[in-house]
């Protein structure tokens, strides 16, 4: 066996750097999984907060006697309590309280949130992320007679 063949055989049998090579190959995948879990966890937390805020605003609006009073109660609830929800910036919230166009006995409260300021959008650029707008609607039955 010549000198070149013996060096190739020695290199093929040497396992000293195999861990480094495996680490280099798997690290981008691992990084994407960990940072993806972090990003989606933050996003799902914000989504849950928007959903809960819409439900709570609808519950507050049920006390109103008319559509105008219900809208005022829903808007007031969101303005007063939005800061207490994690991941939500009250300045990026939009509240749309309205009577149901399909059933006059129901009332809708829709909350939209511009999530573009969440810290997830620059975590890991190749990571596929959801929409930057979160919207949830809650429906309540009108109270009274």
Q: 54 with 138: CB under 8 angstroms?
A: yes
pLDDT tens, the chain, 145 aa long: 577 777 777 766 767 777 888 888 999 889 888 888 888 899 999 999 999 999 999 999 988 888 899 999 999 999 999 999 888 999 999 999 999 998 988 999 999 999 999 988 887 777 788 899 999 999 998 865 4
In a domain, residue 81? The reply is: yes
Domain total for the chain? 1
In a domain, residue 10? The reply is: no
Domain that holds residue 54: 17-141
CA atoms within 13 A on the CB side of 73: 20
In a domain, residue 94? The reply is: yes
pTM beyond cutoff 0.85:
no
In a domain, residue 1? The reply is: no
């Amino acid at each position: 066996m010549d000198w070149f063949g013996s060096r190739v055989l020695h290199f093929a049998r040497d396992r000293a750097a195999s861990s480094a090579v495996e680490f280099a190959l798997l690290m981008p995948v691992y990084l994407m999984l960990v940072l993806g879990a972090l990003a989606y966890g933050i996003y799902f937390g914000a989504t849950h907060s928007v959903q809960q805020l819409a439900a709570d605003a609808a519950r507050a609006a049920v006390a109103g006697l008319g559509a105008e009073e219900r809208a005022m109660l829903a808007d007031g609830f969101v303005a007063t309590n939005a800061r207490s929800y994690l991941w939500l910036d009250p300045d990026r919230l939009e509240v749309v309280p309205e009577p149901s166009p399909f059933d006059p006995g129901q009332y809708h409260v829709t909350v939209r949130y511009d999530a573009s300021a969440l810290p997830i959008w620059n975590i890991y650029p190749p990571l596929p992320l959801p929409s930057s707008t979160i919207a949830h609607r809650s429906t309540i039955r009108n109270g009274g007679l």
